[in-house]
Amino acid sequence: MKNLVAGFSKQLKDAIEIGKKAKLTHSPKPIHQVLICGLGGSGIGGNTVSELVAMEANTSINVSKGYFIPAYVNENTLVIISSYSGNTEETLQCMEQAIKKKAKIVCITSGGKVKEIATAQKFDFIIVPGGMPPRSCMGYSMTQLLFVLQFNGIIGNTTILQLVAAIKLIDTEEENIRKEATEVGAKLFGKMPVIYATTYFEGVAIRFRQQLNENSKVLCWHQIIPEMNHNELVGWREKNENLSVIFFRDKQEYDRNNTRIEINKGVISKYTSQITEIWSKGNSMIEKAIYLIHLGDWISIDLAERRGVDASEINVINELKSELSKL
């Protein structure tokens, strides 16, 4: 897993070349909405992309992380099926429903049943390299989502250029990223992480939480500002130094949100001294997100090493899938 995190930059470069060569076709019907179907490592790209392009996209982009698709899906919906293995049962069921709804379907996968169905039905599909843990392939899925959205006219042509700039940024900052990851990992060791971010960085927060779960083998939670100011903030009532709070920050954040964060820090500091701020770098939202995602991945690796656990091992998930396969 450590080598896969180290190869994130190269993966993004490879993903761009795959996206450029993708053979996609335009929908015969106008696209009125987009639905991305995927879970876990295949679904987090959907969360992140939908947020990052929200201010640019000319239609709504939603994410489905279950067995069912919304009732609004029809022939004017672009449904993107994202399953790294191609065998995710929830995503396959969503795909079946989208077919019945006559939606425009595009698949992103390394193979499996998704590829089989896409080939048989003559759907557009993009094949990414297989054989890796899905969570280590976010660069592939996220990049292909951007290409699919761009091809279908949902977003403009600047996003790929921003992605190229993001690659350059993390290459330049790699040494600093690893240093900061080591510092933050030390602060999280033996603690329960509590992750806070603002609205358009929720995908980053979810990704970090999932990486701490799977790589570091720890429980944690995340909440979003300003929403948490209307509920969770009231829950900070008891002193607990076992909680280690992470705030994802951005210098270009909306002023009211930055003010909220400062007030939140004042409240939370009464109950734990373990508060860390992680600041984004980059000029665009995509650059900032890629930077924070890469930094978060390295933190999860550092914490896994401190805890003496195998970052790649996911036995309990495999056991769950095995039990489900018996039904």
Same-domain check for residues 11 and 151: yes
234 has a pLDDT exceeding 90: yes
pLDDT in tens, 147-180: 999 999 999 989 999 999 999 999 999 999 999 9
Indicate if 74 and 130 belong to the same structural domain: yes
Whether 316 is in a domain gets the answer no
CATH code for the domain of 24: 3.40.50.10490
Question: What whole-number percentage of the chain has pLDDT above 70?
Answer: 100
Q: Which residues are catalytic?
A: 214, 230, 321
Say if CB 94 and CB 69 are below 8 A apart.
Answer: yes
How does residue 243 score in pLDDT terms, banded at 50, 70 and 90?
very high
Shared domain for 125 and 19, answered yes or no, is yes
* Dist CA 95 CA 80 (whole Å): 9
**Is 41 within 8 Å of 136 (Cβ atoms)?**
yes
What is d(CA 169, CA 173) in angstroms, rounded to the nearest whole number?
Answer: 6
Residue 320 domain flag: no
Query: Of 122, 156, 190, which closes a domain?
Result: 156
Whether residues 184 and 141 fall in one domain: no
Q: How far is CA 179 from CA 24, 112, 141, 182, 302, in A?
A: 41, 39, 27, 5, 10
The answer for residues whose C-beta is within 8 angstroms of residue 246's C-beta and 6 or more apart is 184, 188, 193, 194, 195, 196, 208, 276, 277, 278
| Three-state secondary structure call for residue 23 | coil
Q: What is the mean pLDDT of residues 41-66?
A: 94
Q: Is residue 317 part of a domain?
A: no
Band (pLDDT 50/70/90 cuts) for residue 37 is very high
| pLDDT on residue 130 | 92
Model pLDDT, residue 41 = 87
Q: 54-102, pLDDT tens digit by residue?
A: 999 999 999 999 999 999 999 999 999 999 999 999 999 999 999 999 9
Per the prediction, the chain carries an average pLDDT of: 96
Q: Residue 61: which residues within 8 A CB-CB, separation 6 or more? A: 33, 34, 35, 36, 49, 50, 53, 54, 149, 154
What is the Cα–Cα distance from 301 to 303, expressed in whole angstroms? 5
**161 domain-assigned:** no
Please tell me the total number of residues recorded for the chain in this structure. Answer: 327
Same domain, 94 and 180: no
Give the pLDDT of residue 56.
94
Whether residue 313 lies inside any domain: the answer is no
Which residues is 246 bridged to in the sheet? 195, 276
Report the run of H or E that residue 226 belongs to, with start and end.
Answer: none
Q: Is residue 326 part of a domain?
A: no
User: Are 193 and 123 members of one domain?
Assistant: no
Write down the pLDDT at residue 260.
97
Q: Look at the chain and report how many structural domains it folds into.
A: 2
Do 213 and 259 belong together in one domain?
yes
In angstroms, rounded to a whole number, what is the distance separating the alpha carbons of residues 313 and 52? 31
CB atoms within 10 A of CB 8: 22
pLDDT for 327: 85
pLDDT digits (tens, 9 = 90+) for 267-302: 999 999 999 999 999 999 999 999 999 999 999 999
Q: Is residue 47 one of the residues assigned to a domain?
A: yes
- Chain segment 204-223, per-residue pLDDT in tens: 999 999 999 999 999 999 99
Given this model, what pLDDT does residue 80 score? 98
pTM of the predicted model as reported, rounded to 2 decimal places = 0.96
pLDDT tens for 115-127 read 999 999 999 999 9
SS (H, E, C) 132-156: CCHHHHHHHHHHHHHHHHHHCCCCC
Q: Do 303 and 193 lie in a common domain?
A: yes
Widest CA span of the chain, in angstroms? 60
What's the rounded mean pLDDT across residues 184-196? Answer: 98
Owning domain of residue 223: 175-307
